[in-house]
Amino acid sequence: MIAQAEMERRCVFGLTKAHRSALARRAQALELKRVFPNMYVTPEYWKSLPPDERTRHLARTLHLKHPHWIFAGVTAAAIHELEHQWHLHDGSIAIATTTQSSNASSSQVKRIFAPDCAPEYVKGLPVTGKARTVVDCGLSTEFRFALPIINSALRVGVTVSEILNICASMHRDCTPIFRLLHYANPACENGGESLGLGTIIEGGLMVPELQQEIIDPQTGAVYRVDYLWRLPAGRIVVGEFDGYGKYVNPDMNNRRGIRGAVHSEKERETGLYRAKIDTIVRFTYEDALARHPVINKLRAAGIPNAKSMMVPTADAS
């Protein structure tokens, strides 16, 4: 049963009382790990899975037990493979429900009121559509963690109109969604860059331009920077999101290894300074997650608050 479950990328569960008892005994002996009521995995196998895939494992298993369930919220974001931060996966599963009840959700099954929700099927799993998933996540998740989801959705073809149509059909305040749409930008290349942008916006700093091309005047090399600020007196500040992957992922560093990737970054930095970039601010995913390191670094580089860049409106009288 365990081998079959792993082959099908799901958890094992007991169909009979004897099976359930056997699985529970093995979990008590620490041979198995209970990850949901009557759902088990081997500890080593579970440890090898990233958090979003763990959620998909739970969903595949629950679909066998509850084929009428429609997965929603962050669970749906994982099934659609929309970019998001893994810490949003807390071991619970979100499903859409057509009834509104304050007692409907539990610690492991969260119900999202979504009447007239027609499911889409993604690799055999019934799930809310991408636009509805964006709205549900935007209404239940902190702004800077919802921004990667909406940016990812826009990048794969979801339209602003589709999102607005979902909002129009709901009887609740969708102000958080309108704010997300105001700042959403599919130019962010990944969830980390979107998180960085959301952190900058939430920190009240001037919103940067994204993915701007800078030409090294000496070599002609073209460098695309993650964030760029054009400040008074002609100062230009660049922000670079340093993902770990650029150093260890061979597809991102042209298979040059860590040493080659570091050398390439130094060449890039030198080229940017030759192109009259005044300051380069680097920050990591951990910096963005912690929030304050990013804000402090950018303030130290002279990035002003957003409101200080607003031009006062002339008195109409």
> What is the tens place of the pLDDT at every residue in 109-143?
999 998 888 899 999 999 999 999 999 999 999 99
Overall average pLDDT of the 39-55 stretch:
97
CB of 117 within 8 A of CB of 96?
yes
Mean pLDDT (the chain) is 90
Question: Between these two residues, 270 and 315, which has the higher pLDDT value?
Answer: 270
pLDDT level of residue 265 (50, 70, 90 thresholds): confident
What confidence score (pLDDT) does residue 259 get?
A: 60
Question: 171: which DSSP letter?
Answer: S
Residue 156 has pLDDT above 60, yes or no: yes
CA atoms within 13 A on the CB side of 7: 4
pLDDT of residue 108: 93
Separation CA 301–CA 248 (nearest Å):
29
Residue 176 pLDDT > 50: yes
Domain boundaries, the chain: 1-48, 66-186, 207-309
Q: Is the pLDDT of residue 258 over 90?
A: no
Span 30-53, average pLDDT: 97
Q: In 3D, which of 253, 205, 245, 208 has the Cα closest to residue 228?
A: 208
Residue 264's pLDDT is 77
Tell me the pLDDT band of 56, cut-offs 50, 70 and 90: very high
Contact between 39 and 63 under an 8 Å Cβ cutoff? The reply is no
pLDDT value for 307: 79
Collapsing DSSP states into helix, strand and coil, what is residue 272? helix
Q: Quick one: average pLDDT of 287-305?
A: 96
The pLDDT, as a whole number, for residue 101 is 62
299 Cα distance to chain centroid: 25
